[in-house]
Amino acid sequence: MHFRSLPALLALSLFFLAPALAAQSSVSEFRLGGSAAVLNDECIRLTPATPYVSGSAWFQNPMDLEYPFELTVDLVLGENDELGADGIVFVFHPNMQTGYRGEGMGFAGLYPSLGIEFDTYQNFHLGDPSGDHVAIMPHGQAHHARSMVGPVEVPNLENGAKRPLTISWHPGKHTLEVRLDGQLRASYTGDIVAEIFGGNSKVYWGATAATGRKINYQDVCIRKLVYAMVD
């Protein structure tokens, strides 16, 4: 195993002082599924503004959750507000797959998994609040009765802007933190390796999204990815 730092453009950085291999990353290193397509050298469009599609982008090398990571991307959740759906989920999973579309946001049905959802549509039957929201969800479950954290309401996400997202994991403290727009939106403390992945610390990470009857284009843009990568 070695530590790899993967910034989107030119800067290279190390997460902490340790023997490390630093290298650049590009969107070509992601495996795309469903409706996902490369937009440019930084951004992947997970869904176009088309009904009933789902897409995913998975980095092709797994990470080791026994070590810390910090992943920084930009999310773009489209421009349709009242008529927009459904959102993006940042996912950790032993395989690179796309889950169910619509309210499943390309995450539903992925087991075992941990998903950090950025939900832009209120599904009453799933316990969604009225506003856009963030939640940490286990095992491809979409109903908030199963939420590990949240739902936490956030200001409107569907304004076409790039929304900076940083997700960090501190295994010594067993703490997962989610910062959106520079603010801590969700934090979970627990042994996710044991609780979610049955002791398997080697997982893939990626982003999924979907539309249903209502639509939005939904993108993820890579900024900085620093973690212990499995050989």
The pLDDT value given to residue 145: 94
Task: Give residue 154's domain range.
Answer: 2-229
User: What single letter denotes the amino acid at residue 203?
Assistant: V
- Per-residue pLDDT for the chain (231 aa), expressed as one digit of tens each? 544 544 443 333 333 333 343 334 678 889 999 999 999 999 999 999 999 999 999 999 999 999 999 999 999 999 999 889 999 999 999 998 887 888 888 888 889 999 999 999 999 999 999 999 999 999 999 999 999 999 999 999 999 999 999 999 999 999 999 999 999 999 999 999 999 999 999 999 999 999 999 999 999 999 888 877 666
Exposed e or buried b per residue across 98-127, where buried means at least 16 C-beta atoms within 10 angstroms of its C-beta: bbbbbbbbbbbebebbbbbbbbbbebeebe
pTM confidence score? 0.88
Q: How many domains does the chain fold into?
A: 1
Q: Is 231 exposed, middle or buried (CB count within 10 Å of its CB: 0-12, 13-18, 19+)?
A: exposed
Q: How many helices (H) and strands (E) does the chain have?
A: 1, 17
C-alpha–C-alpha distance, residues 128 and 142, integer Å: 10
Q: Is the dihedral of CA 15, 17, 23, 29 positive or negative?
A: negative
The pLDDT value given to residue 7: 47
The pLDDT value given to residue 63: 92
Spatial CB neighbours of 42, under 8 Å, sequence gap ≥ 6? 8, 9, 27, 221, 222, 223
Spatial CB neighbours of 183, under 8 Å, sequence gap ≥ 6? none
Spatial CB neighbours of 17, under 8 Å, sequence gap ≥ 6? none
Query: Contact, 144 vs 128, CB < 8 A?
Result: yes
The pLDDT value given to residue 169: 96
C-alpha–C-alpha distance, residues 177 and 149, integer Å: 11
CA atoms within 13 A on the CB side of 172: 1
C-alpha–C-alpha distance, residues 106 and 87, integer Å: 9
At 224, which CATH number? 2.60.120.200
The pLDDT value given to residue 231: 60
